[in-house]
């Protein structure tokens, strides 16, 4: 017994209380979501700081005498003289499949009232984009389900395609349609137990939007059954500018997890104009020098480093991809403004939506002349490439001729036929919102248009013809659609079959 | 008229001139303040108020405060001083403060580094863990 007591006493005597070293600073001033802190000599750039009261901050400015900290959360409890501590951690968010079906804020915390997020992995919000060696060219398509896009401006997995246009021209709708179509394809592949299919998960980042708009988007996605494959990162207009500035980076981190783990993801930034405004606000309160339109000098780098994180990586690195669909809102159709030109130059193409077309009833209001996809055609389905190769040129020619036809001069038969053909294609591409069309149906319909099956159909009945043809294909010729889907290309045999089906349908059409 | 930024830059230059081997020379600092006031230049007060802030920050960078719940023995004080000098080099302005609020243990702040081995901080950590 005595030995034991001696042993315990010796252990107590030998035990040393450990005092961990912490780096602290003192708040000099606080306001507008930003604090300036003296001290903090060891703070790193983008390091999470503990401001006390459970409030976190992010070190954004490391000056000679102080640190500029943006406050993540409620800052009214903070006061001058308060203690700030470094944490040694960079800002990070939870990632993984546990986030699918959830609505989270910029810190990855749930805001949908469905309980805690199940995730044991976290990714830093700011991360270097994959380098040249890790990347490989875009080769697989993202089927948006929007006929005009899939045929003329195809998007590939790993591409960055800008959606640009004035307010209320259907920018968000295009992205929501794309998300819905991915969910439809994912579900179909799961039901068919298709092991070769690579599901595409979606991330929708809402920046500075009205809460009501975000709620509406969530309701649409839930109704379409797309939420189980979607993560929503919400940073509404009521959020602080800091949260709005960081939200797309948090969303990109969540997308990168899918890419790093050999999966495919799609991220929608809705929208980067509001993101630039939020960043301008943060920069101005941090007293950074301002440049054109009061945006800080690094606003280009802000968007380039964000969009560069979208990539298709090589097989050695998991073969995953992250496709980005950034949205930019223009004022009165001015694509030469500061932020639109910046983002246009960073992305691999843009889909330009026109107000005039929208009010003429051409929806989606895609301007064929100004829209382009720089890399997507490499990824386009072979069958679609075969049937839609000419469409873009035909439509561009139609727009030019239609402008001349407005003068009322008499037109020769050939020109008139071109204009009529163009009008029919425009009718075919009209598509209601939230109803994506499967790619095999798109191929069959465009094939029918290109081969003169709608030439004798009056323009005002083209849509009706298309709907009936689609119905006919879906109900009676499902095996033909399946063949197009399986073969991916149009073989002579398949073309003959398509011709027979189109002839058969044409006989019944009145 | 000079901008605030320009005046701050001048204060920084003035401050740098008062450093000798990386440490603030108090004699030089006093002389610099006197000269600026004598020159009666526009913006002198802005320069000097920023200069004062730089001096304050410099002093706090080279100051250490040792807080304890009870008075330390001379031997323990000497040991603490020796350890601080080993970590931060000579020229550290150390002061010993009695703070019963710590309940027990010791809290040392040297510049912006804090070593907190007090009972109060231990209790706070326990509270946070709940």
User: For the segment A461-478, what is each residue's pLDDT rounded down to a tens digit?
Assistant: 999 999 999 999 999 999
Could you confirm whether A374 is annotated as catalytic?
yes
B53 touches chain A (CB under 8 A): yes
- Separation in Å, CA of B1 to nearest CA in chain A: 20
Min distance A85 CA to chain B CA atoms (Å): 10
B102 touches chain A (CB under 8 A): no
Strand partners, A135: A313
Query: Which residues fall within 8 angstroms of residue A449, CB to CB, at 6 or more apart?
Result: A424, A425, A428
Classify strands A372-373 and B19-20 as parallel, antiparallel or unpaired. unpaired
Mutate to test the interface with A, among B114, B117, B121, B127 (most CBs of A within 10 A): B114
CA atoms of B20 and B11, how far apart (whole Å):
17
Interface of B with A in 9-28 (CB under 8 A): 12
Residue A87, helix vs strand vs coil: strand
Nearest to B112 among A17, A23, A64 (CB): A23
pLDDT, position A377? 84
Under an 8 A CB cutoff, do A21 and B61 touch? no
Which residues in chain A are closer than 8 Å to B65, comparing Cβ atoms? none
Q: Which residue has the higher pLDDT, B117 or B125?
A: B117
Q: How far is CA A16 from CA A10, A284, A439, B79, in A?
A: 12, 49, 70, 16
Please identify which of the residues A280, A374, A399, A424 carries the catalytic annotation. A374
Listed residue (A355, A375, A374) closest to A364, CA to CA: A355
Using a CB-CB distance cutoff of 8 angstroms, which residues of chain B are in contact with residue A36?
none
Residues of chain A with pLDDT under 50: none
What is the predicted pLDDT for the residue at A139?
Answer: 92
A419 within 8 A of A446, measured Cβ to Cβ? no
Could you tell me which chain A residue has the CA closest to the CA of B122? A19
Coil vs helix vs strand at A303 = helix
Confidence (pLDDT) at A12: 67
Determine how β-strand A34-39 pairs with β-strand A66-72. antiparallel
What is the per-residue DSSP string for A398-412?
HHHHHHHHTT-----
What pLDDT score does A108 carry?
94
Give this prediction's pTM: 0.88
Model pLDDT, residue A255: 97
Share of chain B above pLDDT 90, in %: 62
**Contact status, residue A151 vs residue A388, Cβ threshold 8 Å:** yes
Contacts of B113 in chain A (CB under 8 A): 21-24, 41-42
Chain A residue whose CA is closest to B55: A65
Query: Between chains, do A24 and B12 touch, taking CB under 8 Å as contact?
Result: no
Rounded to whole angstroms, the Cα distance separating A428 from A435 reads 14
Judged by a CB distance cut-off of 8 A, whether residue A25 touches chain B is: yes
Question: Region B88-106: what's the mean pLDDT?
Answer: 90
Q: Where are the alpha helices (DSSP H) in A430-476?
A: 439-450, 462-476
In this prediction the ipTM stands at: 0.82
Measured distance CA(B92)–CA(B90) in Å, rounded: 6
CA distances A264 to A95, A186, A259, A274, Å, are 14, 11, 6, 27
DSSP A104: E
Q: Calculate how close chain B gets to A339, using CA atoms only, in Å.
A: 29
pLDDT tens across A361-384, in order? 999 999 988 999 998 888 899 999
pLDDT of residue A18: 67
């Amino acid at each position: 017994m005595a030995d034991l007591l001696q042993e315990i006493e010796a252990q107590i005597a030998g035990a040393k209380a450990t005092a961990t070293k912490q780096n602290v600073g003192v708040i000099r001033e606080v306001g507008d979501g930003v604090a300036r802190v003296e001290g903090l000599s060891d703070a790193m750039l983008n390091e999470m700081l503990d401001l006390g009261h459970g409030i976190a901050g992010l070190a954004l400015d490391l000056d000679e005498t102080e640190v500029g900290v943006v406050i993540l959360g409620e800052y009214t409890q903070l006061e001058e003289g308060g203690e700030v501590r470094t944490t040694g951690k960079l800002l990070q968010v939870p990632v993984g499949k546990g986030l699918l079906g959830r609505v989270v804020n910029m810190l990855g915390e749930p805001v949908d009232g469905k309980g805690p997020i199940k995730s044991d992995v976290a990714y830093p919000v700011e991360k270097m984009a994959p380098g040249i060696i890790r990347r490989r060219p875009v080769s697989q398509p993202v089927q948006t389900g929007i006929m005009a896009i899939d045929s003329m401006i195809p998007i590939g997995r790993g591409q960055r395609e800008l959606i640009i246009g004035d307010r209320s021209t259907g920018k968000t709708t295009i992205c929501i349609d794309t998300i819905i179509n991915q969910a439809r394809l994912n579900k179909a592949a799961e039901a068919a137990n298709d092991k070769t299919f690579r599901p595409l998960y979606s991330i929708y980042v809402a920046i500075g939007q009205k809460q009501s708009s975000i709620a509406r988007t969530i309701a649409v996605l839930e109704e379409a059954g797309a939420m189980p494959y979607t993560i929503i990162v919400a940073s509404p207009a009521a959020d602080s500018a800091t949260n709005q500035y960081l939200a797309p980076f948090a969303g990109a981190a969540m997308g990168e997890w899918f890419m790093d783990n050999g999966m495919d993801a799609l991220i929608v930034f809705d929208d980067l104009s509001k993101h630039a405004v939020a960043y301008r606000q943060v920069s101005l309160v941090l007293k950074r020098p301002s440049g054109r339109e009061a945006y800080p000098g690094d606003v280009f780098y802000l968007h380039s480093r964000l969009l560069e994180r979208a990539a298709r990586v090589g097989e050695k690195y998991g073969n995953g991809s992250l496709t980005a669909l950034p949205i930019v809102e223009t004022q009165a159709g001015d694509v030469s403004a500061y932020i639109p030109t910046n983002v246009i130059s960073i992305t691999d193409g843009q889909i330009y939506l026109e107000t005039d077309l929208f009010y003429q009833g051409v929806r989606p209001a895609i301007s064929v002349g100004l829209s382009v996809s720089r890399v997507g055609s490499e990824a386009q389905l072979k069958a679609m490439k075969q049937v839609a190769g000419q469409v873009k040129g035909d439509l561009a020619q139609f727009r030019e001729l239609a402008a001349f036809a407005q003068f009322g001069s008499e037109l020769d038969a050939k020109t008139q036929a071109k204009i009529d053909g163009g009008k029919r294609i425009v009718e075919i591409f009209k598509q209601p919102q939230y109803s994506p069309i499967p790619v095999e149906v798109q191929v069959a319909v465009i094939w029918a248009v290109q081969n003169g099956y709608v030439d004798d159909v009056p323009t005002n009945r083209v849509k009706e013809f298309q709907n009936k043809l689609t119905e006919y294909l879906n109900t009676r010729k499902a095996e033909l659609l399946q063949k197009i889907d399986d073969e991916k290309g149009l073989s002579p045999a398949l073309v003959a079959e398509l011709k027979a089906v189109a002839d058969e349908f044409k006989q019944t059409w009145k | 008229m000079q901008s605030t930024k320009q005046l701050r830059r001048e204060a920084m230059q003035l401050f740098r001139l008062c450093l000798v081997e990386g440490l603030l020379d108090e004699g030089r600092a006093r002389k610099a303040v006197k000269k600026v006031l004598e020159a009666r230049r526009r913006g002198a007060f802005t320069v000097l108020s920023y200069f004062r802030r730089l001096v304050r920050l410099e002093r706090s960078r080279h100051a250490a405060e040792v807080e304890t719940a009870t008075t330390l023995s001379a031997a323990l004080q000497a040991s603490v001083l020796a350890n601080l000098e080993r970590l931060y080099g000579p020229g550290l302005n150390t002061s010993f403060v009695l703070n019963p609020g710590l309940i027990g243990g010791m809290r040392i702040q040297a510049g912006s580094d804090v070593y907190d081995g007090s009972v109060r901080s231990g209790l706070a950590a326990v509270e946070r863990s709940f």
